[in-house]
Amino acid sequence: MNNDLETIYGPPAPYSEHTCGDFVMYVQEEIFYTGSILYIAVHRPLLYRAKIALRYIVMPSYDASFPEVISPSDIVIEDTVYE
């Protein structure tokens, strides 16, 4: 499966803050979602030669047909302790 993901999303990242299989909360268009990280890819040239340094490929918890591509800044880190 990783070979298929590498073909689609590019080479795997040698290191990252999160790992494959981690369950994360992330935000897109001001809406919060949760999901599991399937793959972590390094940059790949995009339009106008822009690059994204690191991308998380996440399978959302909601009923989604395709994984979503998430940047590290989209992942929400919750430090608040609730009593």
- Using a cut of 0.85, tell me whether the model's pTM lies above it: no
Higher pLDDT, 63 or 29: 29
Domain residue ranges in the chain:
2-76
2-76 sits in which CATH class?
mainly beta
Q: What is the 3-state secondary structure (H, E, C) of the chain?
A: CHHHHHHHHCCECCCCCCCCCCEEEEEECCEEEEEEEEEEEECCCCHHHCCCCEEEEEEECCCCCCCEEECHHHEECCCCCCC
Give mean pLDDT, residues 63-75: 89
How does pLDDT run across 1-47, given as a tens digit for each residue?
A: 667 888 888 889 888 899 999 999 999 998 999 999 999 998 765 55
